[in-house]
Amino acid sequence: MLTIDALHSDNKSMQDLDNRRDNDRLLCAELVQLIWRDESGRQSRRVANLEDISLSGICLQVENPIPVGTTLTMEYGDGALVGTIRYCRFQDCGYFLGVELAEGCRWSSQHFRPEHLLDPSELVDQALQRHQVDCKFPC
């Protein structure tokens, strides 16, 4: 039986995992190719949706789970990023993988810029600026 306390615990656990990255995350939506070796050593490939990206990590959405601890390569355009899956959680309509990029493998917008890239902090700044303008000119 799932209790409300368990639900809050699961949500908090997911939030804690989401907030482990030290670098600012940028939201994005980009189809990428994943490559990894399964438990038997066979190479597996799958298309995934890149959900967010930072200097040190990525979040990917996939249809089926991939085990925590798996090393994978995310191929994009003419490059690749390598990392290790730190969490795999089912949420709504798919599995979300938190991937810590390997030491020395850092993302740079100079090498790969997803087509749909959004910095949430810019949205907050824009909202605050609009609010300040609204306060100066009441209706």
For residue 42, give both structure tokens: 């066979």
Fold of 4-136: Thrombin, subunit H (2.40.10)
pLDDT of 17 above 50: no
Percent pLDDT > 90 in the chain is 44
Kindly report the pTM of this predicted structure: 0.70
Higher pLDDT, 20 or 2: 20
pLDDT of 44 above 90: yes
Domain ranges of the chain: 4-136
- pLDDT category at 47 given cuts 50, 70, 90 is very high
- pLDDT mean across residues, the chain: 78
Q: Can you tell me the distance from the alpha carbon of 132 to that of 110, in angstroms, rounded to the nearest whole number?
A: 34
SS (H, E, C) 119-137: CHHHHHHHHHHHHHHHHHC
pLDDT for 3 equals 32
